Amino acid sequence: MDFGPRIIIVLLVPLAILAGGVLLQIFLSRRESRWPGLVLPLLTFLLSLLNVLNIMDTGSASQNVLLVLTTLLIGNIPTLVLLAIYWAAREKRRMEAQMDKMHIDDL
C-alpha cells in the first residue's frame, strides 16, 4: 500500500483551510465597517465554549476547574490569532486615515 498521496492530501487540506481562513480574516478586517472582521474571532470563541461543554467530570473540583481553564486557553488560541490579525489590519487602516487627514490639512 502506498500512503504517499493520502498523506499529502491529509496535510494539504487542513493547511489550505487554515490559509483560507487567515486570508478571509485579513479581507474582512480591511473592510470599512469594523463588524465583519469580528465574525471569525466570534465563531472561534463560540467553538471554544462548545469544547468546554464536552469535558467529562474527573471527580475532583480542582481538576475540573484546571481542565476547563486549560481547555479555554488552548481553545482560544485561534481566537487570539484572528484578533491579532484584526487589530493589525485596523491599526494600518487607522494610520492611513490619519495620513489622509494630515494631507488634507496641509492643503
Output the nine-digit C-alpha cell for 13.
Answer: 487540506
The amino acid sitting at 94 is R
Polymer length in residues for the chain: 107
Q: What is the pLDDT of residues 50-98, one digit of tens each?
A: 999 998 888 899 999 999 999 999 999 999 999 999 999 998 888 888 8
Domain that holds residue 14: 4-106
Q: Give the residue from 82, 6, 95 showing the smallest Cα distance to 40.
A: 82
Contact 37, 28 (CB under 8 A): yes
Give the predicted TM-score (pTM) of the model.
Answer: 0.80
CA 69/CA 75 separation, integer angstroms: 10
The total of structural domains in the chain comes to 1
**Interval 25-36: pLDDT, tens:** 999 999 988 899
